[in-house]
A = this chain, B = another copy of it.
Amino acid sequence: MERLPGFRDFYPEPLPHADTWSADARQFIFDKWRETAKHYNFREYDGPPLEPLELFTTKSGEEIVGQLYNFTDKGERAVSLRPEMTPTLARMVAAHERNYKKPIKWFALPQLFRYERQQKGRLREHFQFNADIIGETDPAADAELIALLIDTLRAFGLTEQDFVIRLSSRNAWQEFYRSKAQAELGEYDFYQIIDKLERTPLAESEKKLSSLGFSLTEVNAFIELGKPTIELQSILDNLAARGLKDFVKVDYRVIRGLAYYTGVVFEAFDAKGEFRAIAGGGRYDNLVKLISGGKVNLPALGFGMGDVVLLEILKARGLLPKFDANVDVFVLIEDETLRAPSLKLIQELRAAGFAVEYPLTPAKPDKQFKRAQELKAAFTAKVESESYVRIRNLKSRDEIVAGFADAANHLR
């Protein structure tokens, strides 16, 4: 029986196949995400993987339904596996924001889902690090969030040689647009053209732009100039004070596709441009109000970083460690009459915090020792009587005989 297309099985390493996924690498990534978030005093939250379909259409319009893993449940509810975390966050914050001091700094590590019929072989789920700041309009919040993004990538060993944050602003583009165009009508269409500029033939972009009254030349000149707005300059100065200015550059080609961004937007890319975006985010100051039906109005911003592109880059840069079983002690049982005291030792070592393995059933001594080596055990321990344990350091090959109660002290 096969798993569903686009879903992943996560196996312990060593991996059975090149196309299977590593549960150990996933946990390594999750641990780094959590650790960095905590350094920044972001608190963890989570919501349901399944939400009312309306939660996602309210925010992004009906056209998003074509990409959703949505269905009608047994209670005749229109529901969807979550394609992103932001609407759930907005719903949760709107429901209980009064209990939390602003700014709210929260993160989550949700599994997200989508269903695109045409894209065979593409994943239909991934995990994402989501970090958001809610309740602060000052660009200091944007800087704090971008610093977290930078430090998250640095926590994996990536440097300014490996990635760059391309910083942009919907406000800058809005000003540009409104200075030329008559009405707000067509503004979002204009953003869509900018968003696709890098992956659209020039002639096509030129044609589309001119239908809105713009030339490709003036658009390119605006991008080329890349003059930071006041808010962007404030963010750049803030990041420079932290010593992070080499990780960020203004790049107005970034505008983000989603309709709901309202101000600063940014994306993290690998410096060589070999991979898809590593992360992306921005301000969505109107979303909490929209989701809460007007009841709660809070400015907000956030980013999402997926596990798939990140994993590709870490592999390419040789930054993924080897994941072993991490056995501290392998208890050898060569004399079956000593199995009972061996089990007692195993219990005591585990209670003392060691990862302990042993042969469940009688096995030849050389086979046991080989297994200890395969598991990269740091020590072997062999009960020699009810009172004594022989401990061997498998790296140094030092051996000592310790009293039973004293064994744990020789394993540090």
Q: Interface of A with B (CB < 8 Å)?
A: 1-5, 7-12, 14-17, 20, 23-24, 26-27, 38-41, 43-52, 54-55, 58, 69, 71-75, 77, 79, 81, 88, 91-92, 95-96, 98-101, 103, 106, 111, 113, 115, 117, 125, 136, 138, 140-141, 144, 147, 151, 237-238, 241-244, 291-293, 325-327, 339-341, 343-344, 346-347, 350-351, 353-357, 360-361, 371, 374-375
Of B10, B12, B73, B99, which one neighbours A47 at CB under 8 angstroms? B10
- Give 13 CB contacts A-B under 8 Å: A1-B291, A3-B51, A4-B79, A5-B75, A11-B96, A26-B46, A40-B350, A71-B73, A101-B374, A140-B361, A151-B351, A237-B340, A241-B341
Are A327 and B41 in touch, CB under 8 angstroms? Answer: yes
A138 and B361 CA atoms in complex are apart in Å by 7
Are B16 and A46 in touch, CB under 8 angstroms? Answer: no
| A46-B344 contact, Cβ under 8 Å, with A1-B54, A355-B38 | no
Are A242 and B23 in touch, CB under 8 angstroms? Answer: no
Are A49 and B111 in touch, CB under 8 angstroms? Answer: yes
Q: Secondary structure at chain A's binding surface: helix, strand, loop or mixed? A: mixed
Hey, which chain B residues are within 8 Å of A344, CB to CB? 241-243
| A96-B327 contact, Cβ under 8 Å, with A1-B91, A27-B44, A50-B7 | no
Are A361 and B9 in touch, CB under 8 angstroms? Answer: no
A14 and B98 CA atoms in complex are apart in Å by 12
Are A4 and B50 in touch, CB under 8 angstroms? Answer: yes
A8 and B15 CA atoms in complex are apart in Å by 34
- Closest B residue, CB atoms, query A40: B350
A164 and B47 CA atoms in complex are apart in Å by 33
Hey, which chain B residues are within 8 Å of A351, CB to CB? 151
- Closest B residue, CB atoms, query A137: B361
Are A115 and B73 in touch, CB under 8 angstroms? Answer: yes
Are B347 and A242 in touch, CB under 8 angstroms? Answer: yes
A350 and B37 CA atoms in complex are apart in Å by 10
Total identical chains: 2
Hey, which chain B residues are within 8 Å of A88, CB to CB? 9
Are B3 and A48 in touch, CB under 8 angstroms? Answer: yes
- Closest B residue, CB atoms, query A148: B350
Are B47 and A96 in touch, CB under 8 angstroms? Answer: no
Instruction: For the complex of A and B, list the 7 residue pairs with the smallest distance between their C-beta atoms, beginning with the closest.
Output: A12-B43, A16-B96, A7-B48, A16-B99, A241-B340, A241-B343, A242-B347
A42 and B25 CA atoms in complex are apart in Å by 16
| A1-B96 contact, Cβ under 8 Å, with A27-B44, A115-B74 | no
Hey, which chain B residues are within 8 Å of A327, CB to CB? 41
A58 and B106 CA atoms in complex are apart in Å by 42
| A55-B243 contact, Cβ under 8 Å, with A44-B23, A96-B16 | no
Hey, which chain B residues are within 8 Å of A341, CB to CB? 241
Are A1 and B58 in touch, CB under 8 angstroms? Answer: yes
Hey, which chain B residues are within 8 Å of A293, CB to CB? 1
Are A39 and B1 in touch, CB under 8 angstroms? Answer: no
Hey, which chain B residues are within 8 Å of A291, CB to CB? 1
Are B241 and A375 in touch, CB under 8 angstroms? Answer: no
| A343-B242 contact, Cβ under 8 Å, with A72-B71, A151-B351 | yes
| A45-B23 contact, Cβ under 8 Å, with A103-B360, A326-B38, A360-B140 | yes
A291 and B3 CA atoms in complex are apart in Å by 12
Hey, which chain B residues are within 8 Å of A244, CB to CB? 347
| A12-B45 contact, Cβ under 8 Å, with A69-B73, A74-B115 | yes
CB distance from A198 to the nearest CB of B (A): 30
